Structure 1
Amino acid sequence: MRLLPLPAFADNYIWTLTDDSGALVVDPGDATPVLAAADAGLRPVAVLLTHHHPDHIGGMAALLQRWPQLRVFAPDDGRIALAACTRVGDGDRVAVGDWEFQVLAVPGHTVSHIAFFGHGLLFCGDTLFSLGCGRLFEGTPAQMLASLDRLAALPADTRVCCGHEYTLANAAFARVVDPDNPALRRRTEDATAMRQHGHPTLPSTLAGECAANPFLRVDAPALRAAVAGRLGREPRDRVEVFAELRRWKDGFRA
C-alpha cells in the first residue's frame, strides 16, 4: 500500500492510496495532477470526497470522462452534483477491494463535511489541518469543536491526511498562542526543514497534533490563559476557548 499526496493549485493535496488493485483518489479538486499520475501508471478505481468546495471536487467531471466506471463516494449534499455517486454519511463503511473506511460526520467547515478513517489513515479534508483547523464557513464553533474532539479520540498513531499544505502558516499562529510548547517547537523545526527540501509536511500523526495543535488543546491551561488575556476575562467554557482561538486565527497576520 502506497500513500502519496499529489500537489494541486497553490497548496492543495490530492491524496492517492495505491495497491495492486488500483488507486483511491481523495478530493481531486483539479484533474490535471491525477491525469499526469495516470500517465505514469496510476490506475484510479474509486474517489472519496470529503466536502463540496470546488478545490476538492472540481476535477471530477474530467476524471469521470476518462474513467466512466469510477466509483465515487460523497457526502449527501446537493452541491456535489454528480449523478453516478454513492452518498455516504456518519457510521457508513466504504469498501473498495481490500480497503475499508469508516465514514465520520465532522461538520464545522461545512455542514455536510465527512472524513474517512481506515488502515491507520484519516482523510479529513479541511476539518483538521496540521497545527490548525478549517475556517467555520457554515458550522458553529460547538460543531467544529465536537468534530475535532471526535478526530482526536482516534488512535494516536493515525496518520492525518488533510487537504492543504498549511503547516508553517499554522505554526506561526500556534507559536503566538502557545509559545512555550516544546512539541510545537519541534514540529515547526521539522516542518521547516521538510519544506526547505521540497517535501510535504504531511501526513502528520494524531499524537503529534494532539501535542502541538492549539485547536486540539483548548483544555490546556496555556491556551485558556492566552484566550483569557485576549478576552480580558476567563472564558466561559471550552467552546468559547475554541471560538476565540478561531476568531483570532481568522484575523492573524504573521
Structure 2
Amino acid sequence: MIQVEHMNKTFKVTRRSAGFSNAVKALIHKETDTIHALSDISFSIGDGEMVGYIGPNGAGKSSTIKILSGILTPDHGSCLINGRIPWKDRREHVKDIGVVFGQRTQLWWDVPVIDSFELLRDIYEIPRNQYLTTLEELIDLLALEEIIKTPARQLSLGQRMRCEIAASLLHTPKILFLDEPTIGLDAVSKLAVRDFIRKLNRIHKTTVLLTTHDMQDIDALADRVLLIGKGRLLLDGTLSDLKSRCEPPCATLDEIVASLYREFQI
C-alpha cells in the first residue's frame, strides 16, 4: 500500500546574528544552511498495518508525513501509495488518506464542530447517506455527542483532538497519518484516543502510521517500529527487535529508545 524508495528532502534555512547592523547586512547577503531532513529513506507498509515512526525532534518524521500526504515534494526518490504519487495525484490521493497533526487544526475556530464537519463533507464530496452513517459511528466511538454543537475554541484540548480525528475520518480513508495525536493530552484522553485507533484498525482494517514521542502510544498501538535520526532510517522492526538491542536490559520502552538514541548518536 505504501512504498517509499530512496527518498531525500533538503531545506535551506536563513540565519543571521542579532542586532540592527546584522539585519541590514542580511538584506544584501543572506547566510543560508542546507538541512538534510531526509536522506535515502526506504520502507514499505502493508494494508492494515499499524506502524510507529519514532525519533528525536528534527529527525524528519513530520517531513516524511507531509511528503506521504502530498504536501511536500521530495528532492529525489519515489513514493507510491495505492498506486499513486501523492504530490502529483493529490486530488485523488487525499480521498484515501486522513491526516491529524497534533499541533494544527482543521476545525473552524468560531463555529460549532458540526459546521466544520459539514464543510468537510462538501470538500470531500461525500454522499449524504454515507456521511450520516460515518458521522453516527464516529460520534459513538469518540463520545462526541455532547460537544459537536460547541465552537472549537471552547473545547478542551482532549475534546478538540477527538474532533480532529473524527474530521480526518469522515470520508472513510484507507490510511491514517497521525503526527503527535496525543500531545498535551491528559491520561484519560490518551486512553480514549488509543482505544479508538485500535477499534478503527480492527473494524475497518485502516492502515495507521503514527509519529509520537510518547512511547506508551507506541507500546499500545504499534506492531512495528521505524526509527529515524538525522534524516536517516536507522531501524525497522518489531518492539521485540527494539528490546533485544538494549544492553543491559531496559525496564521501559522509554529507556529502550533512549538507549537506541545513544547507540546511533542521535
Quick one: higher RCO (CA 8 Å, sep 6+), 1 or 2?
2
TM category (shorter chain) comes to 0.3 to 0.5
Query: Which structure has the bigger radius of gyration?
Result: 2
Structure ranking higher in helix proportion: 2
- Per the normalisation by structure 2, the TM-score is 0.34
- Per the normalisation by structure 1, the TM-score is 0.35
